[in-house]
Amino acid sequence: MRVWAERALRGAAFALLAWAMWRVAAANTVGRAVSLEGATVDASWPRLLSSSHDAAHLTIANGLPADSTRDVLAAFAHAGVRMTWSGPSVSAVALSVERVREPDQSLLMRVAGPGRVVVRDAASMLDSAADASGGITVVSAGPQGMLRAVGSSATASVPPPAAMRMRTILVLGRASWETKFTVAALEEQGWTVESRVPVAPGTAVTTGARQPLDTAHYAAVVAIDSAAAELAAAIVPFVRSGGGLVLLADAARLSAFTAVTPANVGARQSSAKRSFDATAPLASLNRTPLTLRDDAVSLDSSGTAVTVAARRERAGRVAVVGYDELWRWRLEGGDDAVVAHRRWWSRTVGAVAAGAGPATNASEGAPVARWIDALGGSVARAPSGAPSVPLPQWLLPVLCIILLAEWGSRRTRGAR
Amino acid sequence: MSADFTFCTVQYDSGDWDSAPLVPANLIDSVARYTSIRVAPTGVSVPLGSRDIFRYPLAYLTGHLPVRFTDLERRTLREYCDRGGLLFVDDHNHDVDGVFHKTCTDEIARAVGPMKELSNAHPLFNSFFTFEDGPPATSHELNGWGDNLIHKHLQAVLHGDRIAVLYSNKDYSSEWGYHPDNKRFMSVDNTKFGVNVVVYALTR
């Protein structure tokens, strides 16, 4: 009986050793890895589909593969193929696109990414930056098709946002050159402008068919001076419901606008320049010092003096301008003064105008994050070809116990 | 309180730019009398070739004698109109065959562009007072002086729909050339169209 037990233990020990050897041998013949190259990964699908591979390693050389490739690799991973990848460090490129709230509705593209980034549309390159890590801004009037920011290892793309309906600007001011040339600048820049210019008690020169002062009809009101007092009671609710308001200093002094103005205005100061300097037109203008409210921000400044400030007033925005007689810039400035004056006014009004469309961010964006989510982080190097097949931890102790029991039994009965 | 409008008379090297010295005071009086525009009590005279002209986006030019602009005056006038200035020219001769008319229209065409007849429905004619028949006739036209014509229209160089140069053969310079105190003796103030020119320039 004891001899039979010893024989059984020896048989069990041999059986366990044979099972362990079979397992190692099976791992060497079945579980092999396949190596893929990023540029030709699609052509490798047949090899990967072969049942003899249960691991794959992708080496990326030039940028992440396409999203479709990423999804197929993720599917393999979910099906049990052990996916790893390596390559130069890949970094995300962020792209945000919105329409400028001005009549030409140019596209404002904000791009950030490491190293050189090229911004392009379907037709051509729009701009590039040697280092966009700090973010760059690109403005383009008429890009075609999908917009892309192409970095060294990633691409972000978005379609251009839909065009906005630009509403009318209402200009209120006395009969003055400032009123006249403000209207002219905005009209020449493409805005639809209505104006109301009182010229005598009970008499005003008006242009346009006056509509109710609401955001369905008007994008913003430009209040040049005290002539705005007549409509001040309607302007404040208009702003609070989402409209824009640009106050020149004389209008900002009106008590009706005290609650909404971004800055307190001081007494007008003469320019330090004795005559108009065409090379520094804004510095040649007289100014009104602005003292910002706590919730206001500076949009423009000259030295330490704030010259344009803005703040939100509920759903709307208000800007106050500290420059006096801006029309002199157009008349007395340099060769580009007419264009510069137009653009300044358009930009200032656009900064507060109602009707902004939302920014469009790279919706397929975060391609690097999606890649890592699907396939994990990169590995330092490709894993060795044969996957390790660990033997069960219980195998060695059990084997030792069996052999000790068999050896002990034989020794205690005097056998060798 | 600073002025929103200062009447500016243009000086030019040739001819007699100062042939109507009473017109500025008379128009200033009318603007102050009828409107709430903050008008400077006295006008200024500015050389056409000077950069100072750009401080006055409405300028008045008149004379009897031949007008020949210098190159600088021509360049300045073109730039003045391109930037939005309005030059109001009145033929003090009231004579389409006169030397002022022939030479001045030629200079304007060279500097700014050819003039065209201004429609009597233009906003200029109802910018403040309403002139349904276009520019008001002057006593000089009605008396048959000068070219013995009643000019039905003014002429203009338009930039878009805006008047850059307004030209009159009607001799408003004579019509308005009297001391403002004498306005009280007139049954109808004949300077009202001048108010329209000022209001138009300041509002359109």
Q: B-chain residues within 8 Å CB-CB of A205?
A: 127-128, 199, 203-204
Quick count: other Cβ atoms within 10 Å of Cβ B188? 7
Q: Which of A171, A174, A177, A187 to mutate to test the interface with B (most CBs of B within 10 A)?
A: A177
Say which range, A57-66, A167-176, B60-69, has the weakest mean pLDDT.
Answer: A57-66
Distance from C-alpha of B97 to C-alpha of A364, rounded to nearest angstrom: 76
Distance from C-alpha of A67 to C-alpha of A292, rounded to nearest angstrom: 49
Q: Which of A163, A193, A209 is the last residue of a domain?
A: A163
Region B41-66: mean pLDDT is: 97
Is residue B64 situated within a structural domain?
A: yes
Residues in Cβ contact with B203 at an 8 Å cutoff, skipping those fewer than 6 apart: A175, A179, A180, A195, A197, A199, A205, B127
The structural domain count of chain B equals 1
The verdict on A408 and A269 lying in the same domain is: no
Q: What is the pLDDT of residue A62?
A: 67
User: Quick one: residue B56, left, alpha or beta (phi over 0 = left, psi -120 to 50 = alpha)?
Assistant: beta
The verdict on A250 and A125 lying in the same domain is: no
Is residue B43 situated within a structural domain?
A: yes
Domain coverage including residue A132: 94-163
Q: What is the pLDDT of residue A168?
A: 95
Is residue A358 situated within a structural domain?
A: no
Model confidence at B161: pLDDT above 70 = yes
Region A159-185: mean pLDDT is: 94
Q: Which amino acid is at A152?
A: S
Nearest CB partner across the interface for A200, out of B34, B162, B204: B34
pLDDT in tens, A303-339: 889 999 999 999 999 999 999 999 999 999 999 999 9
The verdict on A78 and A51 lying in the same domain is: yes
Asked if B4 lies within 8 A of A328 by C-beta distance, the reply is no
Q: What is the CATH number of the domain that holds B152?
A: 3.40.50.12140
Domain coverage including residue B173: 8-203
Q: Which of A172, A180, A196 to mutate to test the interface with B (most CBs of B within 10 A)?
A: A180
Distance from C-alpha of A409 to C-alpha of A386, rounded to nearest angstrom: 41
Shortest CA distance from A177: residue in chain B: B202
Shortest CA distance from A337: residue in chain B: B83
pLDDT averaged over every residue in chain B: 95
Region B136-148: mean pLDDT is: 85
Distance from C-alpha of B163 to C-alpha of B155, rounded to nearest angstrom: 10
Give A385's pLDDT tier (boundaries 50, 70, 90). low
Model confidence at A218: pLDDT above 50 = yes
The structural domain count of chain A equals 3
The verdict on A182 and A322 lying in the same domain is: yes
The verdict on A41 and A11 lying in the same domain is: yes
Q: To the nearest whole percent, how much of chain A has pLDDT over 70?
A: 88
The verdict on A145 and A6 lying in the same domain is: no
Distance from C-alpha of A169 to C-alpha of A217, rounded to nearest angstrom: 9
Residues in Cβ contact with A93 at an 8 Å cutoff, skipping those fewer than 6 apart: A111, A112, A113, A117, A132, A149, A150, A151, A154, A155, A156, A362
Region B138-157: mean pLDDT is: 88
Say which range, A42-46, A137-141, A195-199, B44-48, has the weakest mean pLDDT.
Answer: A42-46
Q: What is the pLDDT of residue B201?
A: 98
Q: A-chain residues within 8 Å CB-CB of B38?
A: 174, 176
The verdict on A106 and A47 lying in the same domain is: no
Is residue B1 situated within a structural domain?
A: no
Model confidence at A259: pLDDT above 70 = yes
Q: What is the pLDDT of residue B38?
A: 97
Is the Cβ–Cβ distance between A199 and A207 less than 8 Å? no
Whether B181 and chain A come into contact, CB under 8 Å, resolves to no
A353 CA to chain B: closest CA distance, Å? 23
Distance from C-alpha of A177 to C-alpha of B203, rounded to nearest angstrom: 8
Model confidence at A363: pLDDT above 50 = no
Distance from C-alpha of B10 to C-alpha of B173, rounded to nearest angstrom: 13
- Which carries the bigger pLDDT value, residue A76 or residue A340? A340
Distance from C-alpha of A386 to C-alpha of B184, rounded to nearest angstrom: 114
Distance from C-alpha of A111 to C-alpha of A94, rounded to nearest angstrom: 6
Is residue A373 situated within a structural domain?
A: yes
- Which carries the bigger pLDDT value, residue A207 or residue A60? A207
Region B176-195: mean pLDDT is: 93
Asked if B203 lies within 8 A of A205 by C-beta distance, the reply is yes
Asked if B57 lies within 8 A of A177 by C-beta distance, the reply is yes
Q: Which of A163, A187, A215 is the last residue of a domain?
A: A163
pLDDT in tens, A38-55: 656 677 666 666 655 677
Q: What is the pLDDT of residue A252?
A: 97
Asked if B83 lies within 8 A of A331 by C-beta distance, the reply is yes
Asked if B84 lies within 8 A of A181 by C-beta distance, the reply is yes
Say which range, A23-27, A364-368, B81-85, B110-114, has the weakest mean pLDDT.
Answer: A364-368
Is residue B155 situated within a structural domain?
A: yes
Model confidence at A29: pLDDT above 60 = no
Asked if B82 lies within 8 A of A338 by C-beta distance, the reply is yes
What does the block give as tokens for A64? Answer: 């992440």
Is residue A362 situated within a structural domain?
A: no
Q: A-chain residues within 8 Å CB-CB of B37?
A: 174-175, 199
Lateral strand order in the sheet of A125-129: A125-129, A117-120, A147-150, A155-158
Asked if B55 lies within 8 A of A332 by C-beta distance, the reply is yes
Is residue B2 situated within a structural domain?
A: no
Q: What is the CATH number of the domain that holds A328?
A: 3.40.50.880
